[in-house]
Structure 1
């Protein structure tokens, strides 16, 4: 039963690639929203737990928000993803049975690198986000804590998925706030964001399916 929604999600994820840099439209929004909605259904059918299902479903809402135009839609999408990461934090810490700071003992180098990346956003990101500075700062902290939570569990698909999710958000931040609309790498950045994002979410789901 779980294979059908997963395959449906991957089909629409592939269908979205040509649309990554196109103008907002309702058809584009629908196609972008379906993959994570399908992944959430797969997780629900498989009985993978409320926090994982919630994280995937909230990510679908975030995809819809970021597919629309304007600051209000961006903040809606950002808020949905922040809530998704909070759900993932509860999911991951539930698996490990530890606390976030235990990442510094289970994977010290990765944890220090992640915190360094979070702190560096004050230099290359926060000062370029204008009136969205504080929402972006809060989101950076939340996704950073999600990454640290992933480091408290044994290395596997879920940890790789969380890492790819963070990588996609780093590229997204550069794409939104540091690249001009005519930048020669903008199209490639759109492809990379979607590829890393879908791969990350799929691996988080797959990690749950593998127990």
Structure 2
């Protein structure tokens, strides 16, 4: 029953690839938003728990916000994704039954590397975000905590999915705040952001389906 929404979401995610560099429009926003709405429906139909359903649904709202132009929609999208990560944290910790700091025991090298990446954003990201500096800082802490929460789980699809989500956001941050509109890698970065993001979300969903 949950397979049909997953297939629908994957089909729309493929349809969005040619639109990654297109000008904002409501059809483009709809195509970008549908995949995570479909994933959320799949999680709901499979009774995978409220926090995972909420994380996927809030991610769809984040996609809608980031598909539009302007600082207002960007902050809306950033806030929705921050809430999605909080939902994922609750879901991952609920599944693992472990506190967040257990990540430093179960996967110490990766956990320390993740914290180092979070700290490094003060050098290569925060100073380039202008008046969005504090919202971006808060978001970095929350997504980092999501990654640590995933590391409390046994290594599997969910952990890989969370890692791909973080990679996607790192590329997005570089694309938004460190690349000019005419940068020769900007189009490739847009494709990479969407590919890592959809793969990450799909694997988080798949990990939930696998129990």
1:138 alignment counterpart? 138
The number of equivalent residue pairs is 211
Paired with 1:139 and 1:204, the residues of 2 have a C-alpha distance of 19
Q: Indicate yes or no: 2:127 matched with 1:123.
A: no
Q: CA deviation at 1:205?
A: 0.1
Q: Show CA shifts across 1:83-127 (max 9, x none).
A: 000000000000111111110011000000000000000000000
1:59 alignment counterpart? 59
Paired with 1:210 and 1:151, the residues of 2 have a C-alpha distance of 17
Question: Secondary structure of the equivalent of 2:98?
Answer: coil
Consecutive aligned runs of 4 or more in structure 1 exceeding 2 Å deviation: none
Map 1:53-92 → 2, pairs under 5 A: 53-92=53-92
Unpaired segments ≥5 residues, structure 1 = none
Q: Show CA shifts across 1:23-66 (max 9, x none).
A: 10000000000000000000000000000000000000000000
Q: CA deviation at 1:199?
A: 0.2
Paired with 1:9 and 1:102, the residues of 2 have a C-alpha distance of 33
Unpaired segments ≥5 residues, structure 2 = none
Q: Indicate yes or no: 2:98 matched with 1:98.
A: yes
1:3 alignment counterpart? 3
Q: Normalising by structure 2, what TM-score? A: 1.00
1:201 alignment counterpart? 201
Question: Secondary structure of the equivalent of 2:197?
Answer: helix
Question: Secondary structure of the equivalent of 1:179?
Answer: coil
1:158 alignment counterpart? 158
Q: Normalising by structure 1, what TM-score? A: 1.00
